[in-house]
Structure 1
Amino acid sequence: MAFHCYCWHGDTATAQGPKRDSLCGDLSMATPPVLTRDWLKKPQSMLQRKASTPDEAVSWLEEVFDQHAPKMAHSQATGINRQDRFGSALADLQAGNDLSWGFPLAGSKYLALAVIVVG
Structure 2
Amino acid sequence: METIISSEGEAETESELSNLERKTVNKVDDGDHSSLEEDADKYKEQLEAVFFKLKESKSYRRTVRSISISCITAATPLLSSLKQTAYLIDLDIVEDGIVALAEVEKSYKLETRTTEEVLAEHNVYR
Interval of TM-score (by shorter of Structure 1 and Structure 2): under 0.3
TM-score by length of 1: 0.27
Structure (1/2) with the larger helix percentage: 2
Q: Which has the larger radius of gyration?
A: 2
